[in-house]
Chain A
Amino acid sequence: MRLTATNAESVELGLSVGTSLADARAVVPDLIIHDHDPVADADLLDRIADSCVRYTPMVAADPPDGILLDITGSAHLSGGEAQLAEAVATWLRRKRIDARLARASSAEAAHALARFGHGANDEDESHAIRRLPVAALELEAESELGLHRAGLKTIGDVADRPRSVIAARFGAATVFMLERLTGKADSPLNPRISNPPLVFERRFVEPIASKVYALKVLQGLLEEARVKLAEDDLGGRAFETTFHRVDGRVQHVYVETGLPTRDPTAVTRLFDERLDGLADPLDPGFGFDMVRLSVPSTEPLRPWQDDIESETKAEDNTAELLDRLAIRLGRNRVLHFRPNSTHIPENSQIAVPAIDTSMIERWEPPLSGEPPSRPLQLFDPPQRITVIAEIPDGPPKRFQWRQKPRTIIHHEGPERIAEEWWRSTNDPIGRDQLTRDYYRIEDDEGRRYWVFRRGLYGREAADPNWYLHGLFA
């Protein structure tokens, strides 16, 4: 692992980009590191670029760390180029982003000046360009070294030589780059086109005062959304509606689904459920002037044929039901069980919000020909019982539960289950934990129990306790 970025303090301490993490740690043991996340970096760059639309519509991201603005024709809006630059700098400072700004007559020149120039833009541009180091040409390392070795250190040094001399040694591309930097060749800017988010809205000339009508409009928007989603083979997992009132108040309503969908009826039903349950009911006041629907989360959804196999339908109904229940009762209240890989019986399943899992997990099938090894009902916590059993690890002969003595006639076991030593709070490797010996037993009245002894006799406990953990059907 290597460092991909360093801040000013770490540079002071002698770290630089490309140092291996182990080396860096040896130098600065208390170094704070974060994982390199190029996607997040690109995302941030995109977001900054998006926001720059306030200065000019012609914005291009210049990955990995640059943004290019074509301010031709828009600088006067800020009162001139210098003022515009100042405004951008102030704005970025406020956002706590370190930035280096440069203005030039071509994108390449601005790019180079920002990275290799010395900051202030107060001198003649061609002069500044000539004083840039040859690194600004962004050649291959080998060619750059070649220029250095020849004693050509600045763009000016290179530009003073005949173009043919340079081209013969460093290729036509170098000359072309040189021309671009010095503004002799043109390069168009590649502006950003952002992906339009899935937003559907309806504005009204006259504010509408009827809630019923507003919901009708929403239905229309959902229909629009369905068409759009179907085009891309997508379905929504979340839908958000905002109702904008004339007086500026905005009401948000948000629903989620367990499976992707684009069925307007189903989503309308969810919205209805949510609106009915709102503590602050939808109130048109002096009227809504806009209703907007957005689909913030989508997943692929292939088109399907209706009603050919009724089984598919049935499953969808369950999903729909789960969605409605979740909306009505709250997402954390409709749960379903998932298997959890552990030997500890009470932890071998966990309940998670049903809406979070569209995938049905596979439960371990019971061994064929074997009786069930776990009871249907578990006591939480297990109930203490008094037992008469053979030492060290014989099955219970008799035990007392709920004031009633029970005599055992059949038994099987023990099934020995050790605690998870890494979860122990007292001993780091769980040497003080007690192992459980489970027995499946049946009494003379045909009742079947699941009991365990806590602690191995002699090795872990002198007089282990017994517990009833569950009942078999």
Chain B
Amino acid sequence: MSCFAELVAATNYSFLRGASQPSDMVTQAIKLGMAGIGIADRNSVAGVVRAYVALKDALEDLSAKQREQFGFKLVVGARLCFADDTPDIIAYPTTRHGWGCLTRLLTVGNLRATKGDCLLQLQDLLDHSEDLLLIAMGDDSHAAALRMLRDIAPDRLWLGAAMPRSGRDHRQLARQETLARKLGVPLLATNDALYAEPDDRQLHDVVTCIREGTTIAEAGKLLAANAERHLKSPNEMARLFNAYPEAIAASTEILDRISFTLGELKYEYPNEPVPGGWDPQDWLEHIVLEAAKERWPDGIPDKANQLMEEEFTLIRSEGYANYFLTVHDLVKFARNQDPPILCQGRGSAANSIVCYLLKVTSVDPVEHNLLFSRFMSKERHEPPDIDVDFEHERREEVMQYVYRRYGRDRAGICATVIHYRPRSAVREVGKVLGMSEDMTTLMVSTVWGSHSGMMKDTRIEENGFSLDNPEIIRLKLLVDRILQFPRHLSQHVGGYVLTQGRLDEIVPIHHAAMEDRTFIEWDKDDIDALGLMKVDVLALGMLTCIQKSFDLMRLHGLGDYELDTIQHEDKRVYDMLCKGDSIGVFQVESRAQINMLPRLRPRKFYDLVIQVAIVRPGPIEGDMVHPYLRRRSGEEKVHFPSPDPPHDPDELKDVLGKTKGVPLFQEQAMKLAIVAADFTPEDANRLRRAMATFRNVGTINQFEAKMVEGMVARGYQREFAQRCYQQIQGFGSYGFPESHALSFARLVYVSSWIKCYHPAVFTCALLNSQPMGFYAPAQLVRDLREHGGEVRAADINHSRWDSTLEATDSGALALRLGFRRIDSFRKEWAERLMQARGEKNFATIEDLARRADLPRRALRLLADADAFRSIGKDRRQALWDVRRMPKGELPLFAAARQRELREEDDQPLPAMPLVDHVVADYQTTRLSLKGHPMEFLRERFTSEGVLSCADTDAAKHGSRVRTAGVVLTRQRPGKGNAIFITIEDETGTVNALLWARHINRLRRPVMASRLMLLEGEIQRSKEGVVHLMTTNVIDRTGDLDHLSDTHFTNPETTKGDKLANRQPSPSHRHPRDVRILPKSRDFH
């Protein structure tokens, strides 16, 4: 048994000070044979849960017997750094009460500071020192403060002493000893560790430079002189402190006095929603039964009764009633608003009939045969986790309700730990190494998006940097190590922790950047690990869209619907989806989903569940998609791989029955590990955690051998085992559990149903919920028109702020674009206009200006958007007239409010050509109802033998074509092997696929074109999905210049005169003038 524990150890949650992960610190301490370790980060407890989990994982690796003898102890606290000249104090709570004191103390400091800081004063510690053991890192100069501390905590104060190898350690140590004796406090040996191993020094130097905003070459003495602040073995420490054995012994004395562990943070649920006189469990059962009676007025089915009983039992035994009631309370609040806020639970909560009956989820588990144990189980001892989506525009109301109802001291948002990503890591480390920003920018220029896991060698080489260059290797070595380091804390989008008692006695609270928000220091993984309760109040654009659709349908007499009253299993809806006609529909509107629809051919609700789950990185990377499709179409027999005897040959049938023998859902992969690879439930649980919680690239890989070999040993084919494992790996980043896919599939069905039966309503609601989804308004409008819908332009006498629906002569509904489609037009102007309009339409521009009292700018924007057609003025004339309106307020007196502008003596303006109108439409509203820019270039392209999109789409399989269009989207999904490009012209769209091997040659045109000419071969799948397999891309953006001479400066410039073609300096040009087409939407 060792006799030393390092009690002053920081992790990388002491942001930019520590240089090792908490788990590395714990693992190294165990490896060195310490008696324990104390994790104390700078004014924070953000990293302690990770340390706690690392220790739990280490224990799980041991056999039961070893576990008993395992004496290693983790204590957690914080290093208090003061704003006054008090020395740093490391504080460890000995009891649960002490923990509360510590977190309250930190909260005081956090809330005093304005931004991301913690301002502590000695008095704060004196006020909150109960049950805290204190280690002071001070010297003679701090005697006064130390004396005060000693007086309030006589037997709870130690004086820390270190051997930093400064050349005068021994004299220093003797002085500390004298000071300790004078104060009458014991001396404690420590190494004041900042990292686990000496090799971490380089990284520590780098983070020091990042913190100080300097480069490694200039940092000089800001850096540590040596690599001594790593964890040192007990023997080494005993040798260093051989003159002071009592200082070494003090470390285990402290350890022994601390009984507190994070496991003690017992959670108490808020009690608000329970009416007086009721027991929470009774109340829950009461309201669920009431709801059941309402759901099944003709008698509750046996199966439902049985499920409810089962769930009630578990909820009772684990004491979760208050949690369900709290979530129900939020949902009830949302539904009781006028108009109600649409909401729906997602995730595994959909497995629960209680959630269904409380209307938290909208999937009936009886109907879909879902297992409650997937949501919550006795074995796992983990609290339920219910995520609820709300309409994105109205989520704030729910969040404010949470604060109102539970109070700020009991409700807080979780933190999100922002990690270093390849871009930020390369940029910051590069800066430290003295590289120019241009160089590092270039190096990450081909990293698409910010989430691309590791910095791959190829990415660096792709950008022309040699990995033989020592500077580049240096950068890469350091970047690889800093990736996954936490960078700072931020607030989570909507995860709330609610408590019955004070929240700040569980975890410190911070101010969030957003006003009126506070967040706690732990993120959702920490909260999961500690078993605290959290409810996610999330925002979902599609819910806004659906709610707006329902409102519109009610308004126009198309029926009164709710999420669960839409007709089920309607053939027409599935017919539409089978065609891949799903623009705007929830989840299945992306290019990849649209391609999948005609192949999967969904005919019933469960098919949608599979559709949602299958186009995900997990199944794709595990190569599960094609086997599933082949089996579904009957090309391949459904076959369940079986193990060798004596194992049950049908063991996989239970696991994979629903999905034709192919694992598609997250829990199937889990189950597979248990059943086929002989994982113990604990192993599987850890695998699940590795997948779902700490998304650590390292941890999941250790399961590879275990799983593959486990399956092979039972007689499965290695290749199948490998695929299963790859899929689990894919799930690590993005996987859907079945219940989650079910909840989403509900919204897929509902949105498809609305699109199918009420396309105008659907498009109108989508436009009013922007920004959301995959497509820009222009594509949504176009889609509606292709479905025979009528779309009308914004107009001063017909439009409102939102887009609206108008009855046409034939009785159908036409979509009227709202003023919100006009760039820069303000909502307050629209409201003033609508109010002034009342029942009486505006007759003239002056009439509008006078009655609505709009500023000139508003009038100009309206005119430029061509919104004066109803008073007989086109864009050109309206703008000409609007410009003449006098500046500022119109005359005060009504008498003067007469038509006061004299007739002018001027020739009429030249007529505005259609092409100019189209271009102006795009510039002001990003879409045109009058035409498509490509139709004005058609002649030019036809003469070059370029096909229209419609002709391309109809071309024969294998034919080589050239086609051109405006770029809608560029997408480089997953591993980046292929780039998907969608272009559009007046006849339709073409989907092109470009293999990554062409990208080096074609990067320029691919990335920069607005108007693209593509050359390639048509590939037509048997389901009729057409792709242009592109081999060449030509940037034809320049052709847009010929659309309209209105926007380009010099009509007389000859083409060869390059200098004359140069663009004037941009400083006095609005970007709108340069841009004819809105930017494409690029997804990563």
A residues lining the B interface (CB < 8 Å): 1, 6, 8, 11-14, 16-18, 21-23, 25-30, 33, 64, 98, 100, 115-116, 118-119, 131, 133, 135, 138, 140-142, 144-146, 148-154, 161-162, 164-165, 168-170, 340-343, 370, 373, 412-418, 421-422, 425, 428-431, 435, 437-438, 440, 459
Which of these binds chain A: B161-169, B499-507, B545-553, B666-674? B161-169
Chain B residue with minimal CB distance to A18? B1066
Chain B residue with minimal CB distance to A392? B239
When the two chains form the complex, which single residue of B883, B1059, B1061 contacts A98, counting CB atoms closer than 8 Å? B1059
How long is the Cα–Cα vector from A1 to B438 in the complex, in angstroms?
Answer: 10
Would you give the shortest CB distance from B888 to chain A, in whole angstroms? 14
A131 touches B1052 (CB 8 A): yes
A116 touches B1049 (CB 8 A): yes
A100 touches B1059 (CB 8 A): yes
Which of these binds chain A: B393-401, B563-571, B901-909? B901-909
Chain B residue with minimal CB distance to A343? B225
How long is the Cα–Cα vector from A412 to B221 in the complex, in angstroms?
Answer: 22
A414 touches B167 (CB 8 A): yes
Chain B residue with minimal CB distance to A152? B909
Which of these binds chain A: B786-794, B796-804, B929-937, B1001-1009? B1001-1009
B residues lining the A interface (CB < 8 Å): 165-168, 170-171, 198-199, 201-202, 205, 216-223, 225-228, 433, 437-438, 441-442, 445-446, 463-464, 470-471, 473-474, 477-478, 860, 864, 875-876, 879-880, 883-884, 904-907, 909-912, 920, 1003-1004, 1007-1008, 1035, 1037-1038, 1045-1047, 1049-1054, 1057-1066, 1068-1071, 1073-1074
B875 touches A149 (CB 8 A): yes
Would you give the shortest CB distance from B459 to chain A, in whole angstroms? 12
Known contacts A17-B1066, A148-B1046: A29-B445 contact under CB 8 Å: yes
B445 touches A416 (CB 8 A): no
How long is the Cα–Cα vector from A357 to B1070 in the complex, in angstroms?
Answer: 49
Known contacts A8-B1059, A17-B1065, A430-B202: A153-B1051 contact under CB 8 Å: yes
**What residues of A have a CB within 8 angstroms of the CB of B909 in the complex?**
150-152
When the two chains form the complex, which single residue of B167, B1059, B1070 contacts A141, counting CB atoms closer than 8 Å? B1070
**What residues of B have a CB within 8 angstroms of the CB of A30 in the complex?**
464
**What residues of B have a CB within 8 angstroms of the CB of A425 in the complex?**
470
Task: Give me 27 A-to-B residue pairs in the complex whose CB atoms sit less than 8 angstroms apart, sorted by A's number.
Answer: A6-B1062, A11-B1062, A14-B1004, A16-B1063, A18-B1063, A21-B441, A26-B1007, A27-B1003, A30-B464, A33-B438, A118-B1057, A145-B1073, A151-B909, A151-B910, A341-B220, A343-B220, A343-B221, A373-B168, A415-B166, A415-B168, A416-B228, A418-B201, A421-B202, A421-B205, A422-B217, A435-B226, A435-B227
**What residues of A have a CB within 8 angstroms of the CB of B471 in the complex?**
428
Known contacts A98-B1059, A118-B1054, A428-B477: A153-B225 contact under CB 8 Å: no
How long is the Cα–Cα vector from A164 to B903 in the complex, in angstroms?
Answer: 12
Chain B residue with minimal CB distance to A431? B199
Would you give the shortest CB distance from B433 to chain A, in whole angstroms? 7
**What residues of B have a CB within 8 angstroms of the CB of A373 in the complex?**
167-168
B1046 touches A26 (CB 8 A): no
Would you give the shortest CB distance from A178 to chain B, in whole angstroms? 16
B445 touches A25 (CB 8 A): yes
**What residues of A have a CB within 8 angstroms of the CB of B445 in the complex?**
22, 25-26, 29
Chain A residue with minimal CB distance to B225? A343
**What residues of B have a CB within 8 angstroms of the CB of A17 in the complex?**
1063, 1065-1066
Would you give the shortest CB distance from A437 to chain B, in whole angstroms? 8
How long is the Cα–Cα vector from A131 to B1052 in the complex, in angstroms?
Answer: 8
Given contacts A150-B909, A418-B226, 8 further A-B contacts (CB under 8 A): A21-B441, A29-B1003, A149-B912, A165-B904, A373-B168, A421-B202, A422-B474, A438-B167
Known contacts A22-B441, A428-B470, A429-B478: A141-B165 contact under CB 8 Å: no
Would you give the shortest CB distance from B462 to chain A, in whole angstroms? 9
How long is the Cα–Cα vector from A116 to B202 in the complex, in angstroms?
Answer: 58
Most chain-A CB neighbours within 10 Å: which of B219, B226, B1060?
B226
**Chain B: interface secondary structure?**
helix
How long is the Cα–Cα vector from A366 to B220 in the complex, in angstroms?
Answer: 18
A169 touches B883 (CB 8 A): yes
Most chain-B CB neighbours within 10 Å: which of A153, A342, A343, A418?
A418
How long is the Cα–Cα vector from A202 to B572 in the complex, in angstroms?
Answer: 103
B1007 touches A148 (CB 8 A): no
**What residues of A have a CB within 8 angstroms of the CB of B470 in the complex?**
425, 428
Would you give the shortest CB distance from A202 to chain B, in whole angstroms? 48
How long is the Cα–Cα vector from A8 to B883 in the complex, in angstroms?
Answer: 38
When the two chains form the complex, which single residue of B226, B864, B1008, B1061 contacts A11, counting CB atoms closer than 8 Å? B1061
How long is the Cα–Cα vector from A146 to B1007 in the complex, in angstroms?
Answer: 32
**What residues of B have a CB within 8 angstroms of the CB of A340 in the complex?**
220
**What residues of A have a CB within 8 angstroms of the CB of B205 in the complex?**
421
Would you give the shortest CB distance from B718 to chain A, in whole angstroms? 38
**What residues of A have a CB within 8 angstroms of the CB of B1071 in the complex?**
18
A169 touches B226 (CB 8 A): no
Known contacts A22-B441, A27-B1008, A133-B1050: A418-B227 contact under CB 8 Å: yes
Most chain-B CB neighbours within 10 Å: which of A29, A164, A425?
A29
A162 touches B906 (CB 8 A): yes
**What residues of A have a CB within 8 angstroms of the CB of B446 in the complex?**
26
How long is the Cα–Cα vector from A115 to B875 in the complex, in angstroms?
Answer: 30
Closest 5 pairs between A and B when the two form their complex, measured CB to CB: A341-B220, A415-B167, A18-B1066, A416-B165, A169-B883
How long is the Cα–Cα vector from A340 to B216 in the complex, in angstroms?
Answer: 14
A412 touches B167 (CB 8 A): yes
Known contacts A14-B1037, A165-B906: A153-B1066 contact under CB 8 Å: no
Chain A residue with minimal CB distance to B1045? A153
B883 touches A146 (CB 8 A): yes
**What residues of B have a CB within 8 angstroms of the CB of A149 in the complex?**
864, 875-876, 879, 912, 920, 1046
A26 touches B1003 (CB 8 A): yes
A342 touches B1008 (CB 8 A): no
**What residues of B have a CB within 8 angstroms of the CB of A370 in the complex?**
168
How long is the Cα–Cα vector from A71 to B233 in the complex, in angstroms?
Answer: 87
Known contacts A119-B1060, A151-B909, A151-B910: A21-B438 contact under CB 8 Å: yes
**What residues of A have a CB within 8 angstroms of the CB of B1066 in the complex?**
17-18
Chain A residue with minimal CB distance to B481? A429
A148 touches B171 (CB 8 A): no
A429 touches B202 (CB 8 A): yes
Would you give the shortest CB distance from B422 to chain A, in whole angstroms? 15
Known contacts A133-B1051, A141-B1070, A417-B225: A150-B879 contact under CB 8 Å: yes
Would you give the shortest CB distance from A337 to chain B, in whole angstroms? 16
How long is the Cα–Cα vector from A430 to B1073 in the complex, in angstroms?
Answer: 54
**What residues of B have a CB within 8 angstroms of the CB of A435 in the complex?**
226-227
Chain A residue with minimal CB distance to B1044? A148
When the two chains form the complex, which single residue of B221, B880, B1003 contacts A342, counting CB atoms closer than 8 Å? B221
Known contacts A118-B1057, A153-B1045, A422-B433: A13-B1004 contact under CB 8 Å: yes
A118 touches B1060 (CB 8 A): yes
A168 touches B221 (CB 8 A): no
How long is the Cα–Cα vector from A24 to B202 in the complex, in angstroms?
Answer: 34
When the two chains form the complex, which single residue of A21, A118, A343 contacts B1050, counting CB atoms closer than 8 Å? A118
**What residues of A have a CB within 8 angstroms of the CB of B1050 in the complex?**
116, 118, 133, 135
Chain B residue with minimal CB distance to A33? B438
Would you give the shortest CB distance from A25 to chain B, in whole angstroms? 5
How long is the Cα–Cα vector from A435 to B1063 in the complex, in angstroms?
Answer: 59
**What residues of B have a CB within 8 angstroms of the CB of A12 in the complex?**
1058
How long is the Cα–Cα vector from A144 to B1070 in the complex, in angstroms?
Answer: 10
How long is the Cα–Cα vector from A378 to B593 in the complex, in angstroms?
Answer: 73
Would you give the shortest CB distance from A452 to chain B, in whole angstroms? 11
Known contacts A14-B1035, A141-B1069, A149-B1046: A414-B165 contact under CB 8 Å: yes
A429 touches B477 (CB 8 A): yes
Would you give the shortest CB distance from A355 to chain B, in whole angstroms? 24
Chain A residue with minimal CB distance to B228? A416
Chain A residue with minimal CB distance to B221? A341
How long is the Cα–Cα vector from A165 to B901 in the complex, in angstroms?
Answer: 12
How long is the Cα–Cα vector from A158 to B907 in the complex, in angstroms?
Answer: 12
